[in-house]
Chain A
Amino acid sequence: MPRRLIALALLLALSAAAYILIDLKGPVAFILPYRLTKLAALMLVGVAIAVATVLFQTITGNRILTPSLMGFDALYVFVLTALVHTLGSVGFSALSPGVLFALNLTAMTALGLVLFGVLMRLARGDMVRLVLTGIVIGLLIRAITEFLQRLIDPNEFQTVQSLSFARFTQIDGVLLAVSAVAVIVGTGLAWHLRHRLDVLSLGQEAATGLGEPPASLHRLALLTICLLVAAATSLAGPLSSGGFGPASFFGLIVTAFAHMVTPTHRHAILLPCAALIGGIILIGGQLVMERLLDLATPLTVVIELIGGAVFLYLLLKRRAA
């Protein structure tokens, strides 16, 4: 299985190189930094969502759920809308991108933790109840967001709209650095938890029996998930269509492929595998979109299309436990 990881790493390097080098004409001094920033952003988002989804699926013991199903993307749009609503679009555009990013990251991580904290208490360790409540709360957040959007005037609404789609075209260097730190911390935490997460696959009781009571591990994993998803979403916008569509399927595709490529319960293999696949899909996808199809279709649309198919496949074919 390590050989498969090496193959994936090579594939990732290849698509990254192709992304940088294909069609590299014109003012190289201008194009190169632009492409590198974009490449780094794609990479960060791919890795963050992949790792977060693996963690999420492990703690829920379910392979067809993703963090965005729990209303995470909705939280992002909610924070944006709330900001535009209170500051007005003028005040909003006066915020520097760095401040906006910091606000987003803190608000999302904090709200995410509060959300899960309350949910955990309500569900009392019952993960099914947690997930169902989470879906309902996700809907609630979306509804409140929509309500707020109806209250603001059309111009301000447009500001929100343009910000709530995933975008890899304009990315600020400072944002990139900050989210890189957040993603590195998040993946580091996930890697640190890898052996403990393995034990969780045995179920709540067996894990407790082995000296690994799930409650504290769940909290740590949720913190990591909040951090990773918040960083990725504030950097590039939610990957699902504007946060109002069904769950973002990107994480789902990544973990489904990861389980196919490396069928194992060991997170020491699963985490790097998913991270690599996340990078490959986003970078390779963007490569095809930008260079071969001349940006005819946004990447998210394609991801949703493939993701929807994978979702149906998982649901009908395997009903992965």
Chain B
Amino acid sequence: MIRIEGLSHAIGGSPILHDIDLTLPEGGVTALIGPNGAGKSTLLSLIARLQKIQAGRITVGGQEVGRTSDRDLARTLAVMAQSTHVSARLSVADLVSFGRYPWHRGRPGAIDRDHVEQALTRFDLLALRHRFLDEISGGQRQRAFVAMAYAQDTPYLLLDEPLNNLDIAAARDLMGLVRDMADRDGRTVVIVLHDINYATGFADRLVVLKDGRIAAQGQPAQIVTEALLRDVFGTSATVETLQGRPYVVV
């Protein structure tokens, strides 16, 4: 369970998040959505301790962010940040192996290698394992980063806009893999998404942010309505329901 209490955050004097209280239950995929600048990524990066918490409290699986040792937290929570800039020239297998670092601290054993093999197999990266990150497509690259987070083998997984710049095939593919991690392995996935239709199509729960506040939360079918699009996103679009899930006609 991820529990957020009284979380406020400001960057350079301008407030980004206002007194957020939020509880995300164990398991399933939760998508954070909202217009640009609503504070989705900030919220995610605070949970992932990529930024320091200014006010409020966050606990992930009972461990308080900011008080738990970095090493213990890295075994509870994996994060794929939005910027995936790597300064060294790494092969896909090297990158995925890094996911095991919190467990072996530089000395990988047989178990770590097993996990890496599993991750490479599951994310269909075996054929690419010796290729360098700058030699593969954007979709393959994002997949490799998610595979690294998967290899970290943590109950919680945070993904910040993993679909950025992906074509429809790569995006659907990646979301399928994310869905699978929640369904098959029981991981708790929190994902920031830009495209509402991917969120309604793949997530179990949505948390909608607007101007640093929670505007709505719940199952996609309950909250994605034309009224929400008008009030939160400022656009009047039609919402259609297909196979029990709402989709925005764009």
Binding site for B on A (CB under 8 A): 61-62, 194-196, 198-199, 201-203, 205-206, 208-213, 263, 265, 321
Contacts and interface: CB of A to CB of B under 8 A. Distances in A.
A210 B50 contact: no
Contact of B74 (A198, A202, A211, A321): A211
23 contacts: A195-B101, A195-B105, A196-B106, A198-B106, A201-B87, A201-B90, A202-B95, A202-B98, A203-B86, A205-B83, A208-B48, A208-B70, A208-B79, A209-B74, A209-B77, A209-B79, A209-B80, A210-B152, A211-B74, A211-B75, A211-B102, A212-B74, A321-B87
B89 A263 contact: yes
A209 B86 contact: no
Contact of A201 (B69, B78, B86, B149): B86
Contacts of B45: 205
B226 to A, nearest CB: 36
A206 B78 CA distance: 9
A265 B74 contact: no
Interface in B75-125: 75, 77-81, 83-90, 94-95, 98-99, 101-102, 105-107
A59 to B, nearest CB: 10
B95 to A, nearest CB: 8
Contacts of B106: 194-196, 198
A61 B86 CA distance: 9
A80 to B, nearest CB: 35
A201 B83 contact: no
A265 to B, nearest CB: 4
Contacts of B94: 265
B73 interface: yes
Contacts of A263: 89
Residue among B75, B88, B99 facing the most chain A CB atoms (10 A cut-off): B88
B47 to A, nearest CB: 11
B84 A206 contact: yes
Interface string B14-48: 00000000000000000000000000000001001
Residue among A199, A202, A203, A213 facing the most chain B CB atoms (10 A cut-off): A202
B88 A201 contact: yes
Contacts of A206: 79-81, 84, 86, 98
User: DSSP majority for the B interface?
Assistant: loop
A163 B77 CA distance: 55
A195 B112 CA distance: 15
Interface of B: 45, 48-50, 69-75, 77-81, 83-90, 94-95, 98-99, 101-102, 105-107, 149, 152
A265 B78 contact: no
A288 to B, nearest CB: 33
Contact of B102 (A194, A203, A205, A210): A210
A205 B81 contact: yes
Given A202-B86, A206-B84, A209-B79, 17 more contacts: A194-B106, A195-B107, A196-B106, A198-B98, A203-B81, A203-B83, A208-B48, A208-B70, A208-B79, A209-B152, A210-B74, A210-B102, A211-B75, A211-B102, A212-B101, A265-B88, A265-B89
Given A202-B98, A208-B49, A265 B90 contact: yes
A92 to B, nearest CB: 44
Contacts of B72: 211
Contacts of B79: 205-206, 208-209
A265 B74 CA distance: 22
Contact of B98 (A62, A196, A199, A321): A199
Given A196-B106, A208-B50, A209-B78, A203 B85 contact: yes
A211 B73 contact: yes
A194 B70 CA distance: 18
Contacts of B77: 209
A196 B98 CA distance: 11
Nearest to A216: B70
A321 B89 CA distance: 9
